[in-house]
A and B are shown apart, each in its own frame.
Chain A
Amino acid sequence: QVQLVESGGGVVQPGRSLRLSCAVSGFTFSNHAVHWVRQAPGKGLEWVAVISYDGSDKNYADSVKGRFTISRDNSKNTLYLQMSSLRPEDTAVYYCARDRTGTTLFFDYWGQGTLVTVSS
Protein backbone atom coordinates (compact mmCIF):
# COMPACT_ATOMS: atom_id res chain seq x y z
CA GLN A 1 0.00 0.00 0.00
CA VAL A 2 1.03 3.59 -0.48
CA GLN A 3 3.16 4.87 2.39
CA LEU A 4 4.97 8.13 3.04
CA VAL A 5 7.10 8.39 6.18
CA GLU A 6 8.63 11.69 7.24
CA SER A 7 11.67 12.03 9.47
CA GLY A 8 14.17 14.64 10.55
CA GLY A 9 12.02 16.90 12.68
CA GLY A 10 13.11 18.21 16.05
CA VAL A 11 13.95 21.33 18.04
CA VAL A 12 16.24 23.84 16.34
CA GLN A 13 17.36 27.35 17.21
CA PRO A 14 16.29 30.32 15.11
CA GLY A 15 18.62 30.92 12.19
CA ARG A 16 19.78 27.32 12.04
CA SER A 17 19.10 24.66 9.40
CA LEU A 18 17.33 21.33 9.31
CA ARG A 19 16.68 18.73 6.63
CA LEU A 20 13.49 16.71 6.48
CA SER A 21 13.17 13.44 4.60
CA CYS A 22 10.15 11.56 3.31
CA ALA A 23 10.60 7.91 2.38
CA VAL A 24 7.91 6.52 0.12
CA SER A 25 6.81 3.04 -0.85
CA GLY A 26 3.92 1.25 -2.48
CA PHE A 27 3.90 3.26 -5.71
CA THR A 28 6.23 4.34 -8.50
CA PHE A 29 7.76 7.44 -6.94
CA SER A 30 9.24 8.70 -10.21
CA ASN A 31 5.75 8.99 -11.73
CA HIS A 32 4.44 11.53 -9.24
CA ALA A 33 5.04 15.09 -8.17
CA VAL A 34 5.29 15.43 -4.40
CA HIS A 35 4.59 18.28 -1.99
CA TRP A 36 5.38 19.52 1.48
CA VAL A 37 2.46 20.94 3.48
CA ARG A 38 2.78 22.26 7.03
CA GLN A 39 0.47 22.95 9.93
CA ALA A 40 1.40 25.22 12.81
CA PRO A 41 0.13 24.07 16.22
CA GLY A 42 -3.62 24.57 16.41
CA LYS A 43 -3.71 26.23 12.99
CA GLY A 44 -4.77 25.36 9.46
CA LEU A 45 -2.89 23.83 6.56
CA GLU A 46 -0.29 25.74 4.56
CA TRP A 47 1.21 24.49 1.31
CA VAL A 48 5.00 24.82 1.31
CA ALA A 49 6.53 23.44 -1.89
CA VAL A 50 6.18 21.00 -4.77
CA ILE A 51 8.69 19.19 -6.97
CA SER A 52 7.89 17.59 -10.31
CA TYR A 53 8.23 13.87 -10.95
CA ASP A 54 11.75 14.23 -12.31
CA GLY A 55 12.90 17.11 -10.13
CA SER A 56 13.12 19.57 -12.99
CA ASP A 57 10.39 21.90 -11.78
CA LYS A 58 9.85 23.34 -8.30
CA ASN A 59 7.49 25.86 -6.75
CA TYR A 60 7.48 27.41 -3.30
CA ALA A 61 5.23 29.41 -1.02
CA ASP A 62 6.39 33.00 -0.67
CA SER A 63 6.85 32.44 3.07
CA VAL A 64 9.70 29.96 2.46
CA LYS A 65 11.09 31.04 -0.90
CA GLY A 66 14.84 31.55 -0.74
CA ARG A 67 15.13 29.72 2.59
CA PHE A 68 13.75 26.23 1.84
CA THR A 69 14.82 23.87 -0.94
CA ILE A 70 12.82 20.87 -2.07
CA SER A 71 14.61 17.99 -3.76
CA ARG A 72 14.18 14.31 -4.49
CA ASP A 73 16.20 11.17 -5.15
CA ASN A 74 14.16 8.83 -7.30
CA SER A 75 16.75 6.07 -6.91
CA LYS A 76 16.11 6.13 -3.15
CA ASN A 77 12.37 6.85 -3.30
CA THR A 78 12.96 9.80 -1.02
CA LEU A 79 11.81 13.42 -0.91
CA TYR A 80 13.72 16.10 0.98
CA LEU A 81 13.14 19.57 2.39
CA GLN A 82 16.25 21.53 3.28
CA MET A 83 15.24 24.33 5.62
CA SER A 84 17.63 27.16 6.43
CA SER A 85 17.42 30.48 8.27
CA LEU A 86 14.64 28.98 10.33
CA ARG A 87 12.25 31.29 12.15
CA PRO A 88 9.88 30.68 15.07
CA GLU A 89 6.96 30.96 12.64
CA ASP A 90 8.27 27.88 10.79
CA THR A 91 7.27 25.81 13.82
CA ALA A 92 4.80 23.24 12.50
CA VAL A 93 4.07 19.66 11.67
CA TYR A 94 5.47 19.07 8.20
CA TYR A 95 3.67 16.59 5.97
CA CYS A 96 4.84 15.17 2.69
CA ALA A 97 2.00 14.45 0.30
CA ARG A 98 1.73 12.75 -3.06
CA ASP A 99 0.25 14.53 -6.04
CA ARG A 100 -2.34 12.41 -7.85
CA THR A 101 -0.20 12.68 -10.98
CA GLY A 102 2.18 15.45 -11.91
CA THR A 103 -0.23 18.20 -12.72
CA THR A 104 -3.32 17.74 -10.62
CA LEU A 105 -1.93 19.76 -7.71
CA PHE A 106 -3.95 18.03 -5.04
CA PHE A 107 -2.83 15.52 -2.44
CA ASP A 108 -4.15 11.98 -2.48
CA TYR A 109 -1.81 10.38 0.08
CA TRP A 110 -0.13 11.97 3.08
CA GLY A 111 2.54 10.97 5.56
CA GLN A 112 1.98 11.09 9.31
CA GLY A 113 3.99 14.29 9.69
CA THR A 114 7.12 15.33 11.53
CA LEU A 115 7.21 18.17 14.06
CA VAL A 116 9.69 21.00 13.67
CA THR A 117 10.03 23.40 16.59
CA VAL A 118 12.08 26.55 16.12
CA SER A 119 12.94 27.96 19.50
CA SER A 120 15.91 29.26 21.44
Chain B
Amino acid sequence: DIQMTQSPSSLSASVGDRVTITCRASQNISTYLNWYQQKPGKAPKLLISTASSLQSGVPSRFSGSGSEADFTLTLRSLQPEDFATYYCQQSYSFPLSFGGGTKVEIK
Protein backbone atom coordinates (compact mmCIF):
# COMPACT_ATOMS: atom_id res chain seq x y z
CA ASP B 1 0.00 0.00 0.00
CA ILE B 2 1.15 3.56 -0.70
CA GLN B 3 1.55 5.82 2.31
CA MET B 4 1.13 9.56 1.89
CA THR B 5 2.89 11.90 4.31
CA GLN B 6 2.04 15.58 4.47
CA SER B 7 4.00 18.29 6.19
CA PRO B 8 3.51 20.32 8.17
CA SER B 9 0.41 19.01 9.91
CA SER B 10 -0.54 22.59 10.72
CA LEU B 11 0.72 26.09 10.13
CA SER B 12 -0.16 29.63 11.03
CA ALA B 13 -0.01 32.30 8.39
CA SER B 14 -1.23 35.80 7.67
CA VAL B 15 -3.34 37.13 4.83
CA GLY B 16 -1.02 37.82 1.93
CA ASP B 17 1.56 35.21 2.92
CA ARG B 18 2.91 32.57 0.60
CA VAL B 19 2.29 29.06 1.94
CA THR B 20 3.83 25.77 0.84
CA ILE B 21 2.54 22.33 1.79
CA THR B 22 4.45 19.20 0.91
CA CYS B 23 3.27 15.67 0.30
CA ARG B 24 5.55 12.66 0.01
CA ALA B 25 4.55 9.25 -1.31
CA SER B 26 6.13 6.04 -0.06
CA GLN B 27 6.88 5.06 -3.66
CA ASN B 28 6.99 6.55 -7.15
CA ILE B 29 3.45 7.58 -8.15
CA SER B 30 4.44 9.56 -11.26
CA THR B 31 2.06 12.54 -11.23
CA TYR B 32 -0.99 10.68 -9.90
CA LEU B 33 -1.41 13.16 -7.08
CA ASN B 34 -4.42 15.32 -6.26
CA TRP B 35 -5.08 18.11 -3.77
CA TYR B 36 -8.29 18.92 -1.89
CA GLN B 37 -9.41 21.73 0.37
CA GLN B 38 -11.83 21.11 3.23
CA LYS B 39 -13.51 23.69 5.41
CA PRO B 40 -15.11 22.77 8.75
CA GLY B 41 -18.39 20.91 8.37
CA LYS B 42 -18.09 20.80 4.60
CA ALA B 43 -17.17 18.21 2.01
CA PRO B 44 -13.72 18.36 0.46
CA LYS B 45 -13.27 20.29 -2.76
CA LEU B 46 -10.92 19.25 -5.56
CA LEU B 47 -8.30 21.92 -6.23
CA ILE B 48 -5.64 20.27 -8.34
CA SER B 49 -5.47 16.95 -10.17
CA THR B 50 -2.52 15.04 -11.61
CA ALA B 51 -0.05 17.11 -9.60
CA SER B 52 -0.46 20.42 -11.39
CA SER B 53 -3.78 20.68 -13.23
CA LEU B 54 -5.82 23.46 -11.67
CA GLN B 55 -9.53 22.71 -11.60
CA SER B 56 -12.00 25.04 -13.25
CA GLY B 57 -13.05 27.83 -10.92
CA VAL B 58 -10.10 27.45 -8.55
CA PRO B 59 -8.16 30.72 -8.14
CA SER B 60 -4.82 30.90 -9.88
CA ARG B 61 -3.07 31.67 -6.58
CA PHE B 62 -3.20 27.90 -6.01
CA SER B 63 -0.58 25.84 -7.81
CA GLY B 64 0.77 22.32 -7.62
CA SER B 65 4.04 20.78 -8.66
CA GLY B 66 6.11 17.66 -8.32
CA SER B 67 6.48 14.15 -9.63
CA GLU B 68 7.52 10.66 -8.60
CA ALA B 69 7.35 10.86 -4.80
CA ASP B 70 7.57 14.53 -3.84
CA PHE B 71 4.84 17.08 -4.38
CA THR B 72 4.04 20.63 -3.35
CA LEU B 73 0.90 22.72 -3.06
CA THR B 74 1.60 26.45 -3.06
CA LEU B 75 -0.83 29.16 -2.06
CA ARG B 76 0.43 32.47 -3.29
CA SER B 77 -0.91 35.46 -1.35
CA LEU B 78 -3.17 33.73 1.17
CA GLN B 79 -6.74 35.02 1.31
CA PRO B 80 -9.20 34.82 4.25
CA GLU B 81 -11.23 32.13 2.47
CA ASP B 82 -8.13 29.91 2.12
CA PHE B 83 -7.97 29.06 5.82
CA ALA B 84 -8.89 25.39 5.75
CA THR B 85 -7.40 21.90 5.85
CA TYR B 86 -5.65 20.60 2.76
CA TYR B 87 -5.25 16.95 1.79
CA CYS B 88 -3.19 15.22 -0.87
CA GLN B 89 -4.42 11.94 -2.41
CA GLN B 90 -2.69 9.40 -4.61
CA SER B 91 -4.60 7.97 -7.56
CA TYR B 92 -1.80 5.65 -8.71
CA SER B 93 -3.06 2.39 -7.26
CA PHE B 94 -5.54 0.74 -4.93
CA PRO B 95 -6.09 1.19 -2.10
CA LEU B 96 -6.37 4.91 -2.77
CA SER B 97 -4.89 6.92 0.07
CA PHE B 98 -4.81 10.42 1.50
CA GLY B 99 -2.22 12.35 3.39
CA GLY B 100 -2.98 13.21 6.99
CA GLY B 101 -3.92 16.80 6.18
CA THR B 102 -2.44 20.25 6.74
CA LYS B 103 -4.50 22.74 8.69
CA VAL B 104 -3.84 26.33 7.64
CA GLU B 105 -4.78 28.70 10.45
CA ILE B 106 -4.82 32.45 10.84
CA LYS B 107 -1.80 33.92 12.61
Contacts and interface: CB of A to CB of B under 8 A. Distances in A.
Nearest to B96: A47
Q: At the interface, is chain A mostly helix, strand, loop or mixed?
A: strand
B91 interface: yes
Q: At the interface, is chain B mostly helix, strand, loop or mixed?
A: loop
B95 A61 contact: yes
A109 B82 CA distance: 19
A19 B42 CA distance: 22
Interface stretch (A24-32, A71-79, A83-91, A99-107): A99-107
B97 A107 contact: no
Contacts of B44: 37, 45, 95, 107, 110
A108 B55 contact: yes
Given A61-B95, A62-B95, A104-B91, A44 B100 contact: yes
Interface residues of A, number: 22
Contacts of B1: 62
A45 B32 CA distance: 17
A107 B19 CA distance: 24
Chain B: number of interface residues, binned into ranges: 20 to 34
A13 interface: no
Contacts of B43: 95, 110-113
A50 B36 CA distance: 18
Interface string B11-44: 0000000000000000000001010101000111
Interface string A43-61: 0111100100000000111
Nearest to A63: B95
14 contacts: A44-B87, A44-B98, A44-B101, A45-B36, A45-B89, A50-B94, A59-B94, A62-B1, A105-B32, A106-B49, A107-B46, A107-B89, A111-B43, A112-B42
Interface of A: 35, 37, 44-47, 50, 59-62, 95, 100, 104-108, 110-113
